[in-house]
Amino acid sequence: MQKFSCKEHIGYALDMFVAEQKDFPIMDELPTDVDELCEYCEEKAAYIVSSK
Ligand SMILES: [Zn+2]
């Protein structure tokens, strides 16, 4: 699974990922041409959190 997050919510996104997945999250910067929204607000996402 993967989560998209803005800069403001990345800490929250990482915490939620660990709580839900019981796995170590991998955080990557989202390429600027990828148009995804943060899962926790209406901002454009800056990071993607996923497991390997
Ligand atoms: Zn956000």
Give the model confidence (pLDDT) of 12-51 as tens digits: 999 999 999 999 999 999 998 999 999 999 999 999 999 9
pTM recorded for the entire structure: 0.88
The pLDDT of residue 5 is above 90: yes
| Phi, psi (deg, nearest 5) at residue 49 | -115, 130
What does the chain come to in residues?
52
Contact 21, 13 (CB under 8 A): no
Non-local (6+) Cβ contacts of 9 within 8 A are 38, 39, 40, 41
How do the domains of the chain map onto residue ranges?
2-50
| pLDDT tier for residue 1 given thresholds of 50, 70 and 90 | confident
Tell me the CA–centroid distance for residue 1 and ligand 1, in Å: 18
Quickly count: other Cβ atoms within 10 Å of residue 6's Cβ.
20
Ligand 1 center from residue 22 Cα (angstroms): 22
Whether pLDDT at 52 is above 90 = no
